[in-house]
Amino acid sequence: MGLEADVHPGSTADVTRRRARTVLVVLALFIVINAADKAVLGLTADPIRDELGLTATEFGTVAGSFYLLFSVSAVAVGFLGDRIRTRPLLAALALVWAAAQLPILLPAAGFGALVATRVVLGAGEGPGYPLANYTAFTWFPGKERSLPSAVVVAGGAGGTIVAAPLVILVSNTLGWRASFGLLGGIGILWMLAWLRLGGSGPYAARVDATAAVGDAVPGAVPGAVDGEVPFRRFVTTGTWLGATFSAFTVMWTLAIGFAWLPLFLEEQAGFSDAEISGILGLPALSMAVLVLTSGIVAQRLLRRGTTARVAQGLLGALLPLLAGACLLLTTRAGPGVALLLPLVVAFSAGNGQTPLTNAAIADICPPGRRSAALGLSYALAALSSLLAPYVTGRIIDAAPSEALGYGRAFDLAAWLLIAGGVISMLLVRPDRDAQLLGTQRRSDF
């Protein structure tokens, strides 16, 4: 993975490639924190519900409130990303994350404070994934975006792997509020690291002449925001629509995993806190492996001349189909160890498609449209995360038993995943759409 096929040590290309790898690692850590911030509520659900006396529907409301402004901010910052340098934008997002987590340390913070701070946190985290992917894409040329996107997306799995044992340990020793405070402090540390090491790369839409030295990279490709093709044409292509709908279904399942999976494992599967800490790391570990593997395979296929429809569309669609099938088995496998394999695949495989669809969207858009196109796609997909925790809580409360409620909620998520896989298989065709839009050559910048 690199910016040039053949570079000499100490050359400008070599320096740029090493800088690209550094920025990619920092962006992956950004998503690690992003995922941990989402996961902390589900990981501390039991003590939160006990202390505050929340019903399943009330807890679902808290979880869902995270996504109230999530999509709005993703769209707004997505459009800003095509006009403002990503260094201050990402630093500002990390500061919002920290500011939203720290007030929960106050003993008086109850149901209302949880809802309010989750709304603020969601507004700060909504643009996180698309802006991090867009920033990564500014460091890598066409046909080399699937793997960098996979590294960024894999940070989400890393966040869950790290968060599960750490949050449970802190919660059990210092109380559930301390877990929120810890993540707030980590967000501030990341912001300081990003201001020192981060910045946009040579494949950005433009490099502002007034940018800080760290953002100006030798060999940058100049150019104004592309305006020849109306923005609506990018977001009405089969590639954009198929990728967005499939992401909607994947994020529905992920939202259930963050908010309800820890409770399902405790109340229905009968696992202890220590066992749950280990189990929650398994889907995250599987997700990291599948995300990176799909990115590597797709990039190698593209380098060998395989069409993007096969490398990104068809290959990616297989993963939510597999996840949906396994999710149907999860509540039918019975409690205990028997459910672990389908559960792990169900809550991990779908996200393996994400780096491929992100790269597919980037491939049909010129540089000056990418941030907005990725931001709008993610914003619409994230609406499922607003709905899923609340809908799941309503289904569980309305069912004759919690076991039946979980079964119905998981089945709904499974059929959504299967539908998303089928739709993306039919619609995601980056080569065709880039040719129709006349962006095939420019998307290689």
CA dihedral 206, 209, 210, 212 (to 10 degrees): 70
Tell whether the model's pLDDT for residue 358 goes beyond 50.
Answer: yes
Percent of the chain with pLDDT over 90: 26
Which of 123-132, 165-174, 201-210, 309-318 has the lowest average pLDDT? Answer: 201-210
Tell whether the model's pLDDT for residue 157 goes beyond 80.
Answer: no
Q: Domain locations in the chain?
A: 12-444
Tell whether the model's pLDDT for residue 259 goes beyond 80.
Answer: no
pLDDT of 223-242, one tens digit each? Answer: 334 456 788 888 999 999 99
How far is residue 142's CA from residue 108's CA, in Å, rounded to a whole number? 51
Determine contact, residues 397/405, Cβ cutoff 8 Å: yes
pLDDT of 269-294, one tens digit each? Answer: 777 777 776 787 788 788 888 888 99
213 compared with 375, residue with greater pLDDT = 375
The reported pLDDT for the residue numbered 320 is 95
- Residues 12-444: name the CATH superfamily: MFS general substrate transporter like domains (1.20.1250.20)
If phi over 0 gives left and psi between -120 and 50 gives alpha, with beta otherwise, what is residue 237? Answer: beta
pTM score: 0.72
Name the phi and psi angles at 3, rounded to 5: -85, -25
Q: DSSP assignment, residue 145?
A: -
pLDDT of 420-445, one tens digit each? Answer: 999 999 999 999 998 888 766 444 44
Residue 432, token pair as written in the block:
């065709």
Band of pLDDT at residue 327, cut at 50, 70 and 90? very high
Name the phi and psi angles at 226, rounded to 5: -70, 125
